[in-house]
Structure 1
Amino acid sequence: MSADHHHHDHGHDHDHHHDNRYSDMQARVKALETVLTAKGLIDPAAIDVIVETYETKIGPRNGARVVAKAWSDPHFAAWLKEDATAAIASLGYTGRQGEHMRAVFNTPETHNLVVCTLCSCYPWAVLGLPPVWYKAPAYRSRAVIDPRSVLAEFGLTLPEDKKIRVWDSTAELRYLVIPERPDGTDNMSEEELAELVSRDAMIGTAIAGAPA
Protein backbone atom coordinates (compact mmCIF):
# COMPACT_ATOMS: atom_id res chain seq x y z
CA MET A 1 0.00 0.00 0.00
CA SER A 2 1.33 3.40 -0.90
CA ALA A 3 0.14 6.92 -1.54
CA ASP A 4 1.87 9.46 -3.76
CA HIS A 5 1.16 13.05 -2.73
CA HIS A 6 1.57 15.56 -5.54
CA HIS A 7 1.74 19.10 -4.20
CA HIS A 8 1.93 22.14 -6.40
CA ASP A 9 3.38 24.89 -4.26
CA HIS A 10 2.86 28.31 -5.78
CA GLY A 11 3.34 30.19 -2.51
CA HIS A 12 0.83 32.89 -1.74
CA ASP A 13 -0.71 32.53 -5.19
CA HIS A 14 -2.52 29.44 -3.98
CA ASP A 15 -4.68 31.59 -1.67
CA HIS A 16 -5.81 33.49 -4.69
CA HIS A 17 -8.29 36.21 -5.50
CA HIS A 18 -10.61 33.81 -7.31
CA ASP A 19 -11.53 31.85 -4.19
CA ASN A 20 -11.47 34.92 -1.97
CA ARG A 21 -13.85 36.68 -4.32
CA TYR A 22 -16.23 33.75 -4.20
CA SER A 23 -15.98 33.74 -0.40
CA ASP A 24 -17.08 37.39 -0.37
CA MET A 25 -19.90 36.54 -2.73
CA GLN A 26 -20.99 33.66 -0.55
CA ALA A 27 -21.04 35.94 2.48
CA ARG A 28 -23.24 38.44 0.64
CA VAL A 29 -25.57 35.69 -0.53
CA LYS A 30 -25.85 34.38 3.02
CA ALA A 31 -26.66 37.86 4.31
CA LEU A 32 -29.31 38.32 1.63
CA GLU A 33 -30.76 34.89 2.37
CA THR A 34 -31.00 35.80 6.06
CA VAL A 35 -32.85 39.02 5.31
CA LEU A 36 -35.25 37.38 2.85
CA THR A 37 -35.93 34.53 5.27
CA ALA A 38 -36.66 36.97 8.09
CA LYS A 39 -39.15 38.75 5.83
CA GLY A 40 -40.79 35.44 5.01
CA LEU A 41 -40.02 35.76 1.29
CA ILE A 42 -38.03 32.54 0.88
CA ASP A 43 -37.95 29.09 2.44
CA PRO A 44 -34.39 28.06 3.44
CA ALA A 45 -35.31 24.38 2.97
CA ALA A 46 -36.26 25.07 -0.65
CA ILE A 47 -32.96 26.89 -1.20
CA ASP A 48 -31.09 23.89 0.22
CA VAL A 49 -32.84 21.59 -2.26
CA ILE A 50 -31.87 23.84 -5.18
CA VAL A 51 -28.23 24.03 -4.06
CA GLU A 52 -28.07 20.24 -3.60
CA THR A 53 -29.50 19.75 -7.09
CA TYR A 54 -26.83 21.96 -8.65
CA GLU A 55 -24.08 20.33 -6.58
CA THR A 56 -24.92 16.73 -7.40
CA LYS A 57 -27.03 16.66 -10.58
CA ILE A 58 -26.90 19.72 -12.84
CA GLY A 59 -23.38 21.07 -12.24
CA PRO A 60 -21.37 17.84 -12.67
CA ARG A 61 -23.07 16.94 -15.98
CA ASN A 62 -20.35 18.75 -17.93
CA GLY A 63 -17.68 16.62 -16.35
CA ALA A 64 -19.73 13.46 -16.81
CA ARG A 65 -19.90 14.19 -20.55
CA VAL A 66 -16.12 14.63 -20.64
CA VAL A 67 -15.65 11.26 -18.93
CA ALA A 68 -18.15 9.51 -21.20
CA LYS A 69 -16.43 10.87 -24.30
CA ALA A 70 -13.05 9.75 -22.98
CA TRP A 71 -14.45 6.26 -22.43
CA SER A 72 -15.97 6.15 -25.92
CA ASP A 73 -13.36 7.94 -28.03
CA PRO A 74 -9.70 6.83 -27.72
CA HIS A 75 -8.52 9.90 -29.66
CA PHE A 76 -10.30 12.22 -27.25
CA ALA A 77 -8.91 10.27 -24.28
CA ALA A 78 -5.38 10.69 -25.67
CA TRP A 79 -5.97 14.42 -26.16
CA LEU A 80 -7.35 14.66 -22.63
CA LYS A 81 -4.18 13.07 -21.26
CA GLU A 82 -1.94 15.39 -23.30
CA ASP A 83 -3.83 18.69 -22.97
CA ALA A 84 -6.93 18.46 -20.81
CA THR A 85 -7.55 22.21 -20.95
CA ALA A 86 -7.89 22.20 -24.73
CA ALA A 87 -9.78 18.90 -24.91
CA ILE A 88 -12.33 20.03 -22.35
CA ALA A 89 -12.63 23.45 -23.99
CA SER A 90 -13.45 21.72 -27.30
CA LEU A 91 -16.69 20.59 -25.65
CA GLY A 92 -17.48 24.14 -24.59
CA TYR A 93 -16.39 23.96 -20.96
CA THR A 94 -13.79 26.50 -19.82
CA GLY A 95 -12.77 27.97 -16.47
CA ARG A 96 -13.84 31.49 -15.68
CA GLN A 97 -10.41 32.52 -14.50
CA GLY A 98 -8.42 30.85 -17.25
CA GLU A 99 -7.16 28.10 -14.98
CA HIS A 100 -5.66 25.00 -16.58
CA MET A 101 -7.10 21.52 -16.27
CA ARG A 102 -5.38 18.17 -15.89
CA ALA A 103 -7.19 14.85 -16.26
CA VAL A 104 -5.91 12.00 -14.10
CA PHE A 105 -7.02 8.51 -15.12
CA ASN A 106 -7.85 5.77 -12.66
CA THR A 107 -6.39 2.37 -13.55
CA PRO A 108 -6.57 -1.10 -12.03
CA GLU A 109 -3.31 -0.26 -10.25
CA THR A 110 -3.91 3.36 -9.21
CA HIS A 111 -6.78 5.39 -7.80
CA ASN A 112 -6.69 9.20 -7.91
CA LEU A 113 -8.07 11.59 -5.31
CA VAL A 114 -8.32 15.38 -5.57
CA VAL A 115 -8.07 17.86 -2.72
CA CYS A 116 -7.21 21.51 -2.21
CA THR A 117 -5.17 21.70 0.95
CA LEU A 118 -4.94 25.49 1.38
CA CYS A 119 -8.32 26.78 0.26
CA SER A 120 -11.01 25.31 -2.02
CA CYS A 121 -9.76 25.38 -5.62
CA TYR A 122 -12.26 23.36 -7.63
CA PRO A 123 -12.94 22.72 -11.34
CA TRP A 124 -16.11 24.81 -11.55
CA ALA A 125 -16.37 24.50 -15.32
CA VAL A 126 -16.84 20.74 -15.23
CA LEU A 127 -18.18 20.02 -11.74
CA GLY A 128 -20.28 23.05 -10.88
CA LEU A 129 -20.59 23.91 -7.18
CA PRO A 130 -18.13 22.29 -4.76
CA PRO A 131 -19.64 20.15 -2.00
CA VAL A 132 -19.37 21.47 1.54
CA TRP A 133 -17.11 18.60 2.61
CA TYR A 134 -14.54 19.46 -0.10
CA LYS A 135 -13.92 22.78 1.65
CA ALA A 136 -13.89 21.33 5.18
CA PRO A 137 -10.53 21.40 7.02
CA ALA A 138 -10.91 17.75 8.01
CA TYR A 139 -11.10 16.58 4.40
CA ARG A 140 -8.37 18.96 3.22
CA SER A 141 -5.89 17.65 5.78
CA ARG A 142 -6.85 14.01 6.17
CA ALA A 143 -7.12 13.33 2.43
CA VAL A 144 -3.37 13.89 2.23
CA ILE A 145 -2.37 12.22 5.49
CA ASP A 146 -4.61 9.14 5.34
CA PRO A 147 -6.45 8.97 2.01
CA ARG A 148 -7.35 5.29 2.34
CA SER A 149 -9.29 5.87 5.55
CA VAL A 150 -10.99 8.94 4.10
CA LEU A 151 -12.15 6.94 1.08
CA ALA A 152 -13.45 4.20 3.37
CA GLU A 153 -15.55 6.80 5.18
CA PHE A 154 -17.08 7.71 1.83
CA GLY A 155 -17.93 4.02 1.40
CA LEU A 156 -15.09 3.28 -1.00
CA THR A 157 -12.83 0.49 0.26
CA LEU A 158 -9.92 -0.12 -2.09
CA PRO A 159 -7.67 -3.18 -2.26
CA GLU A 160 -4.56 -2.81 -0.14
CA ASP A 161 -2.33 -3.23 -3.17
CA LYS A 162 -3.96 -0.38 -5.10
CA LYS A 163 -1.92 2.82 -4.96
CA ILE A 164 -3.66 6.09 -4.12
CA ARG A 165 -2.35 9.30 -5.69
CA VAL A 166 -3.48 12.54 -4.09
CA TRP A 167 -3.51 15.64 -6.30
CA ASP A 168 -3.49 19.11 -4.75
CA SER A 169 -5.47 21.66 -6.78
CA THR A 170 -4.17 25.21 -7.08
CA ALA A 171 -5.29 28.54 -8.47
CA GLU A 172 -3.61 27.73 -11.77
CA LEU A 173 -4.28 24.00 -12.09
CA ARG A 174 -7.45 22.01 -11.39
CA TYR A 175 -7.85 18.25 -11.63
CA LEU A 176 -10.57 16.02 -13.03
CA VAL A 177 -10.51 12.31 -12.17
CA ILE A 178 -11.44 10.02 -15.05
CA PRO A 179 -12.83 6.92 -13.31
CA GLU A 180 -12.43 3.45 -14.74
CA ARG A 181 -15.16 2.46 -17.17
CA PRO A 182 -17.48 -0.08 -15.53
CA ASP A 183 -17.78 -3.57 -16.96
CA GLY A 184 -20.80 -4.36 -19.11
CA THR A 185 -20.98 -0.94 -20.78
CA ASP A 186 -19.58 -1.76 -24.23
CA ASN A 187 -22.84 -1.12 -26.06
CA MET A 188 -23.87 2.02 -24.18
CA SER A 189 -24.05 5.46 -25.81
CA GLU A 190 -22.12 8.45 -24.47
CA GLU A 191 -25.36 9.78 -23.01
CA GLU A 192 -25.98 6.53 -21.17
CA LEU A 193 -22.39 6.34 -19.99
CA ALA A 194 -22.54 9.87 -18.61
CA GLU A 195 -25.39 8.80 -16.33
CA LEU A 196 -22.99 6.40 -14.58
CA VAL A 197 -20.57 9.19 -13.64
CA SER A 198 -21.16 11.01 -10.36
CA ARG A 199 -19.57 14.19 -9.06
CA ASP A 200 -17.78 12.20 -6.36
CA ALA A 201 -16.31 9.80 -8.93
CA MET A 202 -14.71 12.79 -10.68
CA ILE A 203 -13.20 13.99 -7.39
CA GLY A 204 -12.08 10.48 -6.53
CA THR A 205 -14.19 9.74 -3.46
CA ALA A 206 -16.25 7.22 -5.43
CA ILE A 207 -16.08 5.07 -8.56
CA ALA A 208 -18.37 5.08 -11.56
CA GLY A 209 -21.66 3.27 -11.08
CA ALA A 210 -22.45 -0.07 -12.68
CA PRO A 211 -25.11 -0.17 -15.40
CA ALA A 212 -28.60 -1.09 -14.25
Structure 2
Amino acid sequence: MTRVNMVYTPKTEEEVAARVKAIEAILIEKGLMSEAAVNKFAELYENEVGPHLGAKVVARAWTDPEFKKHLLKDATEACKELGVGGLQGEHMIALECTDNVHHVIVCTLCSCYPWPVLGLPPNWYKSMPYRARIIREPRQVLREDFRFEVPDATEVQVWDSNSEIRYWVLPKRPKGTEGMSEDELAKLVTRDSLIGTGPAIAA
Protein backbone atom coordinates (compact mmCIF):
# COMPACT_ATOMS: atom_id res chain seq x y z
CA MET A 1 0.00 0.00 0.00
CA THR A 2 1.32 3.45 -0.89
CA ARG A 3 1.44 5.98 1.89
CA VAL A 4 1.87 9.70 1.33
CA ASN A 5 3.56 11.47 4.22
CA MET A 6 2.73 15.15 4.74
CA VAL A 7 5.36 16.59 7.03
CA TYR A 8 4.70 19.97 8.58
CA THR A 9 7.54 22.11 9.91
CA PRO A 10 6.35 24.65 12.50
CA LYS A 11 7.22 28.29 11.86
CA THR A 12 10.02 29.84 13.90
CA GLU A 13 9.14 32.42 16.53
CA GLU A 14 10.93 35.08 14.43
CA GLU A 15 8.77 34.31 11.37
CA VAL A 16 5.59 34.40 13.41
CA ALA A 17 6.58 37.68 15.08
CA ALA A 18 7.36 39.26 11.70
CA ARG A 19 4.00 38.17 10.30
CA VAL A 20 2.15 39.55 13.32
CA LYS A 21 3.93 42.91 13.01
CA ALA A 22 3.07 43.11 9.30
CA ILE A 23 -0.61 42.39 9.98
CA GLU A 24 -0.68 44.98 12.77
CA ALA A 25 0.82 47.60 10.46
CA ILE A 26 -1.76 46.91 7.72
CA LEU A 27 -4.70 47.05 10.16
CA ILE A 28 -3.52 50.37 11.55
CA GLU A 29 -2.68 51.83 8.12
CA LYS A 30 -6.11 50.88 6.72
CA GLY A 31 -7.81 52.40 9.75
CA LEU A 32 -9.39 49.08 10.71
CA MET A 33 -7.85 49.19 14.17
CA SER A 34 -6.03 51.79 16.20
CA GLU A 35 -2.61 51.17 17.69
CA ALA A 36 -4.18 51.36 21.14
CA ALA A 37 -6.70 48.65 20.21
CA VAL A 38 -3.93 46.39 18.90
CA ASN A 39 -1.97 46.87 22.11
CA LYS A 40 -5.06 46.15 24.21
CA PHE A 41 -5.74 42.96 22.28
CA ALA A 42 -2.13 41.82 22.74
CA GLU A 43 -2.26 42.65 26.45
CA LEU A 44 -5.48 40.63 26.84
CA TYR A 45 -3.94 37.48 25.40
CA GLU A 46 -0.65 38.01 27.22
CA ASN A 47 -2.11 38.53 30.69
CA GLU A 48 -5.68 37.22 30.76
CA VAL A 49 -5.79 34.37 28.23
CA GLY A 50 -3.05 31.96 27.26
CA PRO A 51 -0.99 28.86 28.06
CA HIS A 52 0.26 30.42 31.32
CA LEU A 53 -3.29 30.05 32.67
CA GLY A 54 -3.34 26.39 31.72
CA ALA A 55 0.07 26.04 33.36
CA LYS A 56 -1.36 27.46 36.58
CA VAL A 57 -4.18 24.92 36.51
CA VAL A 58 -1.76 22.04 35.89
CA ALA A 59 0.56 23.13 38.70
CA ARG A 60 -2.39 23.17 41.10
CA ALA A 61 -3.44 19.68 39.97
CA TRP A 62 0.10 18.40 40.49
CA THR A 63 0.16 19.64 44.08
CA ASP A 64 -3.47 19.30 45.20
CA PRO A 65 -5.00 15.79 44.88
CA GLU A 66 -8.53 17.02 45.58
CA PHE A 67 -8.30 19.71 42.91
CA LYS A 68 -6.89 17.16 40.46
CA LYS A 69 -9.81 14.85 41.16
CA HIS A 70 -12.24 17.71 40.52
CA LEU A 71 -10.36 18.73 37.36
CA LEU A 72 -10.58 15.25 35.84
CA LYS A 73 -14.26 15.02 36.74
CA ASP A 74 -15.29 18.51 35.54
CA ALA A 75 -12.49 20.58 34.04
CA THR A 76 -14.75 23.54 33.28
CA GLU A 77 -15.85 24.00 36.88
CA ALA A 78 -12.42 23.23 38.34
CA CYS A 79 -10.83 25.88 36.13
CA LYS A 80 -13.40 28.41 37.26
CA GLU A 81 -12.11 27.95 40.81
CA LEU A 82 -8.86 29.52 39.62
CA GLY A 83 -10.59 32.23 37.59
CA VAL A 84 -10.00 30.48 34.27
CA GLY A 85 -12.89 30.19 31.83
CA GLY A 86 -15.00 31.97 29.24
CA LEU A 87 -15.52 31.90 25.49
CA GLN A 88 -14.39 28.65 23.85
CA GLY A 89 -14.09 27.08 27.29
CA GLU A 90 -17.72 26.42 28.14
CA HIS A 91 -17.26 22.63 28.15
CA MET A 92 -13.69 21.43 28.65
CA ILE A 93 -12.36 17.98 29.47
CA ALA A 94 -8.87 17.46 30.91
CA LEU A 95 -7.13 14.20 30.00
CA GLU A 96 -4.42 12.91 32.33
CA CYS A 97 -1.24 11.46 30.86
CA THR A 98 0.27 8.53 32.77
CA ASP A 99 2.96 5.92 32.22
CA ASN A 100 0.30 3.79 30.51
CA VAL A 101 -1.41 6.32 28.26
CA HIS A 102 -0.47 9.54 26.48
CA HIS A 103 -3.15 11.88 25.13
CA VAL A 104 -2.95 14.15 22.08
CA ILE A 105 -5.52 16.69 20.92
CA VAL A 106 -6.65 17.68 17.44
CA CYS A 107 -9.66 19.20 15.75
CA THR A 108 -10.09 17.38 12.45
CA LEU A 109 -12.88 19.66 11.20
CA CYS A 110 -11.36 23.10 11.85
CA SER A 111 -9.51 24.42 14.89
CA CYS A 112 -11.70 23.97 17.98
CA TYR A 113 -9.45 24.72 20.91
CA PRO A 114 -9.81 25.60 24.64
CA TRP A 115 -8.80 29.27 24.41
CA PRO A 116 -9.15 30.11 28.14
CA VAL A 117 -6.56 27.47 29.04
CA LEU A 118 -4.26 27.48 26.01
CA GLY A 119 -4.73 30.90 24.38
CA LEU A 120 -4.85 31.19 20.60
CA PRO A 121 -4.17 27.98 18.65
CA PRO A 122 -0.77 27.77 16.93
CA ASN A 123 -0.70 27.73 13.13
CA TRP A 124 0.37 24.09 12.96
CA TYR A 125 -2.67 23.02 15.02
CA LYS A 126 -4.92 24.44 12.30
CA SER A 127 -2.91 23.00 9.40
CA MET A 128 -4.33 20.19 7.30
CA PRO A 129 -1.16 18.05 7.55
CA TYR A 130 -1.34 17.95 11.35
CA ARG A 131 -5.10 17.41 11.42
CA ALA A 132 -4.89 14.54 8.93
CA ARG A 133 -1.73 12.78 10.08
CA ILE A 134 -2.06 12.90 13.86
CA ILE A 135 -5.17 10.69 13.58
CA ARG A 136 -3.52 8.10 11.33
CA GLU A 137 0.03 7.98 12.67
CA PRO A 138 0.32 9.87 15.95
CA ARG A 139 3.62 8.34 17.09
CA GLN A 140 5.28 9.21 13.81
CA VAL A 141 3.99 12.79 13.85
CA LEU A 142 5.12 13.30 17.45
CA ARG A 143 8.54 11.88 16.65
CA GLU A 144 9.14 13.61 13.30
CA ASP A 145 7.43 16.97 13.74
CA PHE A 146 7.83 17.56 17.47
CA ARG A 147 10.90 15.47 18.39
CA PHE A 148 8.82 13.76 21.06
CA GLU A 149 9.24 10.02 21.48
CA VAL A 150 6.44 8.21 23.32
CA PRO A 151 7.58 4.86 24.79
CA ASP A 152 6.30 1.82 22.91
CA ALA A 153 4.69 0.51 26.10
CA THR A 154 2.58 3.67 26.40
CA GLU A 155 -0.72 3.76 24.51
CA VAL A 156 -1.33 6.92 22.47
CA GLN A 157 -4.91 8.19 22.38
CA VAL A 158 -5.94 11.00 20.02
CA TRP A 159 -8.95 13.11 21.02
CA ASP A 160 -10.93 15.10 18.44
CA SER A 161 -12.20 18.41 19.83
CA ASN A 162 -15.34 19.98 18.40
CA SER A 163 -17.63 22.95 18.95
CA GLU A 164 -19.33 21.18 21.86
CA ILE A 165 -16.36 19.68 23.72
CA ARG A 166 -12.81 20.97 23.93
CA TYR A 167 -10.12 18.68 25.27
CA TRP A 168 -6.76 19.54 26.77
CA VAL A 169 -4.00 17.52 28.38
CA LEU A 170 -2.85 17.25 31.98
CA PRO A 171 0.79 16.26 31.35
CA LYS A 172 2.81 13.97 33.59
CA ARG A 173 4.61 15.76 36.40
CA PRO A 174 8.38 15.69 35.75
CA LYS A 175 10.48 13.62 38.12
CA GLY A 176 12.51 15.42 40.76
CA THR A 177 9.99 18.24 41.27
CA GLU A 178 8.63 17.15 44.65
CA GLY A 179 9.92 20.21 46.51
CA MET A 180 8.92 22.81 43.93
CA SER A 181 6.23 25.45 44.49
CA GLU A 182 3.20 25.91 42.24
CA ASP A 183 4.81 28.94 40.59
CA GLU A 184 7.96 26.96 39.88
CA LEU A 185 5.99 24.01 38.55
CA ALA A 186 3.90 26.23 36.27
CA LYS A 187 7.08 27.29 34.47
CA LEU A 188 7.61 23.67 33.43
CA VAL A 189 4.26 23.50 31.62
CA THR A 190 4.34 24.40 27.91
CA ARG A 191 1.59 24.92 25.36
CA ASP A 192 2.72 21.75 23.56
CA SER A 193 2.46 19.70 26.75
CA LEU A 194 -1.13 20.96 27.17
CA ILE A 195 -1.92 19.78 23.62
CA GLY A 196 0.00 16.53 24.02
CA THR A 197 2.63 17.15 21.35
CA GLY A 198 5.36 17.36 23.97
CA PRO A 199 6.13 16.65 27.62
CA ALA A 200 6.41 19.11 30.46
CA ILE A 201 9.90 20.54 30.81
CA ALA A 202 12.26 18.39 32.88
CA ALA A 203 13.31 19.83 36.22
TM-score normalised according to structure 2 size: 0.77
Matched with 1:205 is 197
Hey, what does 1:146 align to over in structure 2?
A: 137
> Once the two structures are superposed, what CA deviation does each residue of 1:150-199 show, in whole Å capped at 9, x if it has no partner?
10020101112211000011111111100000010000000000000000
The structural deviation recorded for 1:36 is 4.0
Asked if the contact 2:88/2:114 (under 8 Å) is kept, the reply is: no
1:96 alignment partner, one of 87, 91, 111? 87
Could you tell me how far apart the structure 2 residues matched to 1:98 and 1:174 are? 7
1:1-212 equivalences in 2 (<5 Å): 33-34=25-26, 36=28, 59-97=50-88, 99-152=90-143, 153-211=145-203
- C-alpha contact 1:116 1:140 (8 A) present in aligned 2: yes
SS in 1 for 2:68: helix
Aligned pair count? 172
Please tell me the residue identity of whatever aligns with 2:58.
Answer: V
Structure 1 residues not aligned, in runs of 5+: 1-29
Quick one: percent identity of the two aligned structures? 51
How large is the RMSD of aligned CA atoms in angstroms? 2.6
Q: Judge conservation of contact 1:95–1:123 (CA < 8 Å) in 2.
A: no
Greater RCO, CA 8 A, separation 6+? 1
Match of 2:18 in 1: none
**1:38 deviation in Å?**
8.3
Cα distance, 1:97–1:184 mapped onto 2, change above 3 Å: closer
The structure-2 alpha-carbon separation of the partners of 1:32 and 1:157, relative to structure 1 and needing over 3 Å to count, comes to: closer
Specify the SS of the correspondent of 2:125.
Answer: helix
For the residues of structure 2 that align with 1:203 and 1:191, how far apart are their CA atoms? 20
